[in-house]
Each structure stands twice: as structure tokens, then as C-alpha cells.
Chains A and B, each alone.
Chain A
């Protein structure tokens, strides 16, 4: 290891962080500080490959892109020959092994300069290391990878310290091929995943191979993927032997003992391969890399198909980028690809193998997303806007030209922070702007996740606090609510301890408690607040009771208590416990605990960290959500049915497809609707989404537009690839963790506006009173035009549901001002002909459209509860559905 010390010429500073690494030896030297300057630019980058990811969690959002690289220590005495011949004998390789390091470094840790060096080396033709020296800063050694200063997963490891590499080529279970490095010290580094579809160099290499010899279905050789490249690099410097016993294991400079352990004979598979390769290798560059680990024929075929699609799509997406802003309504899943998919061989594949179609679908989406991402980055210059307007736009574009485009760049998309929030109130804590202004800001910008503004704003959004209240009133109100919470909590507690109820009731409560506990213990445990267990379980009869140690934590216990308290609140008093606390809930629904409730409660508790406030916030949230949980499931059915009608109106073609696929039950949205996308989005996005939905800014049913937005984003893929209920369900389920919230919010907003226009058009056609001025973006006139009476907003101010028409219209006006030139340009570029066509199309659609009362309700901002529309406090309502 002396070579490393030499290479890191900087003296080892007594860095406080050094203690973290707790290294037994001193070999790290300068590696654990990354003061990069010319003095320490000590390592030479021989090979690198981009888009190699660490997947720290199952969520794709957490994936960390980086480079895998082979570097050479500058000052190794044995590295006089920088470019050893691959046919060099293995003893020579052995001595060099410690001066070459295999490294992984996250993109984010690289400076611009270093990044471009990595990219340059990546794009060099990988047959041999570059002649020119590319120097990059040294990287921390592997032993410290979990505390490394450049991100938790970065490492560099001398080849001499690598014992073996576990190579997992892409397969059905693992779309991305990966490698795991096992060190001689006995540890394994995190798996590195090769996202070949994003890696420029792999794509290029792939293309070259395709050009020169290509018949994906006939070729017998192994398939090319990023991991092969790494093995190939290593083979230049060390002996790499593939284990005969464990073909996925490649041993690095194995000793005789290692060989025996892995069932290597004298002539191991790798050695044979090497001999074969050596002959041609030195003469001319060989296209085919050394045989990689085998893939099953299906994967291979799929993988090859994918590459073909990729190639085709890369052409198309450049085109797409300029043609339409999104994939909605574009017919640009191109004919080439369509033909390809109709290719008999691929059809056979699709039919014979269950998952093939799903995979095809997913690739197509990945690629489409990639191009969209690029687009988004470019979208906000005026030229781009012009460009996109010039091109063929669907009716979508026309309708949304004014509203859709600016939304992301707008300053209104900045989160509302505590300071801005406080500026909404006067000195008495009374709101001094309109409720709609506040809601508009929160709908578009969300609330700052860091500064505690959520704690302040959520009780208003949820309707715990009256928007008209003063601070004093709120304090008083919360104090009384705190007392009430304590009483409620005491009521079930008493019942459990004293056992005063009938045996049936006792049994029921016990059962409920078990259910709640079971779910609480599996709710959001990845959130630090709920992770870990550090207190003994209070109840020895609980299945979670652990006689030998902690069985729970205080926050889980709080969740449990709050859910039990909600049960108390929601359960109608019975004669036997009448002496106890009488719930002040005028309309107990008697839902019992239902799965999903814990999902709805935990974010509230995590934000407030105050059980009483969280409880009352939950009670308010449940006013909206309880219809999802009633025994008859009418609420879920109603929403799925509304969704059905909404898709019929907004995208009839997609609807027909879903119909043919036996999927118009829309069951694949069940999970999304039940817990408001909590399982689809990450924690932070969920909070952002919920606060937008709570505003009811456009509609109290905006969550249904989120569903349509998700569906629309994937509509081309669904229409082209997915033909059965199970395929669609699987595809939609697997979107979990991959959906970009911001984009979906913008889409949903546009869909809403489009819907609003459609309803207006239909109404006009049916001689409903025409909305005044014809500007449909003024919501109020539309509401007013509804046949259904909505009365004046009642005392709903308490829940913030009343509309302030002037504000809504004002917001639209300011939107227009933000980009004044656009509508005119759009019209000009489009030309009268295109416009006329669009209008015609629109008309055609209207013919078939009937706006049912359920659908019309989507325009309303009134919260829908179990019994239908928002209840007035005065209006009596049925006491819950029972079956």
C-alpha cells in the first residue's frame, strides 16, 4: 500500500473527520480530504463509464448517478508502462494491481472540469486507455465509503484489494445490470447499476456493434452491456477468472486456494476465453468484448429489441421535442416503432412471455420521459415557446396556450415560506388578503417544507381554523379542542382499562386496537420519526410486545392513540357507555378503523408533532376522506365512476382502448384515490400534493384530475402496449415512486381547464345560459351557469370553501400579463385553418357529450362528504352507512 501514500503527496491533516473513518491503518493518507488542487491531482483516469448508479433505496428517485472509473496512481514505481498490453503476463499484472484503482464517484461531487474529464474519457473509444493523460482528483478509499466526504457511496479501491466481482447482467428481475465488488477484507460494496440506456458510451458502442454485425435474434454471442466493459478494463491489468462453480463471480488475481474454492480447474472458463481472445486482440480492435456472463435468451432478445427501439426513438424524440410540448394527444409514438412492435417476432415474444409487453411499455416511457426532461430544461426561453407553438399542436395545446405554458417558470411556483405566510395576516392575526389569494399561492407554490409554515397553514387549509379568525380566537379554540381531545382519549382508555362495556363491545374494541396497531407498525417506518423502536411496549398482550427489549416508539404509540381516539369520536354512543363522555361529533359514521387511515394520519402528526392538533386536523381531513372508507364502498365507487366519465370526456380514444382492455372499472386507481397518492409519491411530494388538494382551488375533486393527468402522461404507452386489465394494473401500480409531482400538477391543472371549457361548450350548445363574457377561466360565471343550484356559499367560510370570483378572475388576468404576447402569437402561427380544424374537432366531440350531475360536481369547490355535498352545520345528515 505504500504506493498510495506516495501518490497522495499532501500531508495527512489531522482532520477531525478522520476519526469517523476509524481506520486501522494509515493508508488513506490524503484521500479522506478532498482538497483538490493541482498538487493533489494525482490519479490518472484510464477508463470511465457514465450513468452508473447506486440505488440506495427501492425508489428510483433516490438513485445516485455517477461514474465507474479505473484510475492509476501517478507515482507507482511499477507503472512505467501506462498502457500495458492486454496480453501481458499475469505476474506483471499482479505487481501492478495495487497502483490501479477501481472507483465510483457520484456525478454531483465532481467539479465542472472533472466532470468533463470523466465524460471525455468515457467517450473515448474504449479499446485501450487514452494516450493522453487525464488527471482527476483522487477519491476516498473504499473502507470509508459510508462516511466519505464526497457522498456516502463513493469509493476507490486498489485492484489488489478486490477479491471478486459479482456480475449480474440485465435480466428480467433486474432490468439494469449490476456489479458488486467484494473486497479481500471481506466486505461488499454497494451494488453499481449500469443504466445502459442513458450511458452515451454504451449506446455508441452498442450502435457500432449493431452496424457491423447485427441480427439480434440470430446472434449467439453474449449481449453487450456496461458491466462487460468494466471486466474488460480489469483484464488489462489483473487476472480475471470467471468461477466455474459460480459463473456470476469473477475472481480477481485469484490464488490457487481461491480457485479451488470456486471450483476452478486449471483451465478455467476465463482463462480459455482469454487465450482465445488474445490472438485477435492485439492485432486489430475487436468489436465483440470478451464473453460476458450469460443471459437467458428471452432477456437477450428483449434487450436487443430494446436497443432497436431506443435507436428509433432517439431519432424520433429529437423530432418530438420540437413538435409538441407533451405526449398528450400526440401520435408520435412513431410509425417506425409501431411497425417494430408489430414485427411478428416481437409479437411472438409479447404473446409468449407474460412480461414482455410490460417491459416494452416501460422502455418506451423511460425514453419519452428522458426527452421530456430535456425539453423541460429548454422550455422556458422565448424561442422555445415559439418553436413549440409553431408545430403541430393538438386541441390540448390550443386550449391551454394561455394557461399551461408559463406555469412552471412562474414565480407563483415558489413555495410560500413562513415570512410570506405571516404577511397575509395583520397584527391581530386576521387574514388581510383574500382567502383565494392565499389558496392560489399554496396551490401553485406549495408551502416551504423546512421553516415550519406548514404547522401554521395546514389547520386553515384543513378547516380546523376559520380563515376569518383572529389569533386570539384560534388560541382559545385550540385550547378547548385540546380538552376535548383529552376527554375523548380518556373515554376509550377508561373503557379498555375498566372493561365496563358488554363482552361484544369489548371484543370489538380489542379487535379494532389490534388492527390499528398492526397498521401503525407498518406505516411510514422509513420516516425517521417513525423508524426504530426504543421504548418497551406498554401492553404485554400485544403481539408487538417484546419481553426482551423495546417493541415500539413513542410516535407509533401516539399514532395508535389518535386512531383509537378517532374511533371513539366516530362511534355513536351506545346505551351501555352513555355515562361516559358523549362524543360531540354530530354525525358519527361508525366506520371503525379501516386500512388507509393510518396513511392519512401520519403526515399530519409528523408535521404538527402535537397529537391534539394532529387529531383535529385528521378529523377535518376525514370529512373529505371518510367516503373512501364506508362499508358499502359507495364513495370509492362514485369516484371511480366519475373518473370513468371524465376520461370519456377528456380522452375518448384512450377510453375506448381501456374499454377494450376491460379496464374501465378504473380499479388501478383505487390505491391512489383511497389514500390520495400517498403510496405513489415520496413523503415530501405527498405533503406538497395534499396541501394543494386541500385548497380546493379549482375543485374539491382535483385529485381526480391528478389521476387523469397520470393516465394521460402514459396514454400512448398504454394504448400501444397494454391490452389487458392485468397489464394496465401492473403498469400503473409500478409507476409508484417514479411520478414527477410538479409535472403532474401542471398537467392536472391544464386538464381541469380543458374540462371546464368542454363543459362550457356543451352547455352553450344545449342552450344553457351562456357564461358571461365567454371567458371560461372566470370560474364563477360557470358555476353560476350550472343548472344545479349551488346557493350562495354558506357559512362554509369555516372550511374555506367559498369562492371569491373577482380573485379567481384576477389571477387569470395576471397570468395573461405574465406572458402577454403568447396568445396572439399562438393564433398567428396556427393560422385560421388549423384553428378552424380544432374548433370542428371540438364540436364533434361535444355532440356526444352529456355532462352528468356527478361530472358537473367536478367544477365545484365544495367538499363532497359521505352524504353527498358539503354539509351545512344546520343540515341534519344521516348517521352513517352501515351494512
Chain B
């Protein structure tokens, strides 16, 4: 029971991060491997504001999200749009964007190392016990989970109910046809990319309340987010949430029952199983 709830709480925060990546890969069609660095940067800002001026990480989100949105918008315009323009095929774009975002992620790690040093950073925020069904949990985990649920819910409503959300879903399903009905595909893709970055950075600010981060942990989160997105199905919001919760549960099980050093190995095994048996994702239909 204890493991179940801890796993679900962790999975909720993972869902937020993976949602960010899904917006970028599923909708904007850019495999962003610098996604984890955006998360760590969000965590850094939360850490900095909390230790510097005691601003609650839950409020920091309102600063982190717009800044990350703008930053990702600029990254898309400067680095990725030229690639989208010159790419002759989807495969070509994939190779180019993988190399570019790897480059960006290394540059980000290098810059963060230069400014903040290579130390681990963590702070204690809301580390009081909360009682759920007879067991105790850290209040920061519960708060992060609730915040993640709120953000995911809003995002889901926005994607499904608003016109802007519909255009984003349209370019994800059929970029060519979307142009025919008067959607500015380039602008919408940039929007989806920027939004994805903002969601990931928000996830970073939330996750930093209970996990210890350092400048080079980004790639681990990128890997986890990728596993979740592929397991849930590229471009599928519901699948992403289910997959994130599953991964959270699996990691907690492995960490508690076998060894905490094996969590990434467990995520990776899950990924292998998905690739072998359901490469189209949990809820995806097989493509011919």
C-alpha cells in the first residue's frame, strides 16, 4: 500500500514531464533530447528562489513557466526552424534534430556547470509528514503531485476544449491536411514546442522539492520521459498519464524491494518490453 501510493505520487510528477516532451515530439515533431536540461533549469530556479528569498516553489512555477515558454520559443525559432525548412524528409529532420538537441543539451549542461558548479542541490520545503490511509508521506511529494494533477488537467482541457488546443492536435495528426483548413502549421508547431518546454520546466520546479538534482542529471529525466512517451503512444495524452503512473509504480517497487540503484535499469527493461510487444504504445493502433 505504502509502495503503491509513493509510486503513484512519483508517477504524477513524471506525467507532467513526459507531457512536456510529448507536446514537443508528438505535436511539434521535434525529438527534444535537451528536455531534461530544461527540467533541471526549472529546478535550479526553484532552488535559488527558495534559498535566496524563501519564495515557495509552488509560486515559482508562475515565473518558471513563462520564462521557459519564451526560451523554448526562441530555441525553436533560432535552431530548429532552419532544420525543419531544409529537411527533405521526416527521417532527415529526425537525425538533424537529434544531433542539434544533443548539442543544446551539452551546451546547457556546460553552462549550468559554469554558473552553479557540479554540486548536488536540494533544499527542504514542506518536509512535514502527511498521513494517508495509515501511512506517512512527505507533504512536498503530495503537494507536487496535486500541482501536477492540476497542470495536467488544465492542459488536457485546453487541448480538448479550446480552438488553439484543437489546432495543436490537428498538426499532430495530419500536418499536411491542417494547412488545407487554414492552420498556420509553423506557428502552431513553435507554440507546441514552447508550451512543452514550459510544462517540463514546471515539472522540474515541482520535482526539485523532493528529489536531489545536479547539473548533469538532466539526461536521466530525458530518458525516463522518452520511455513514458513511447510507452503511452506518441501524441497521446491519456496514454502518457497512464504510462507515467506505471513507471512511477515500477520504479518505486524496484527501489524498495530490490535496489535503489536499479531504477533506470527497470525503466529501460520496461522500454525493451514495450518495443518488442507494443511499439505503437499502450493504446496506439498498429500502423501498417
Chains A and B come from one and the same complex: no
Binding site for A on B (CB under 8 A): none
Binding site for B on A (CB under 8 A): none
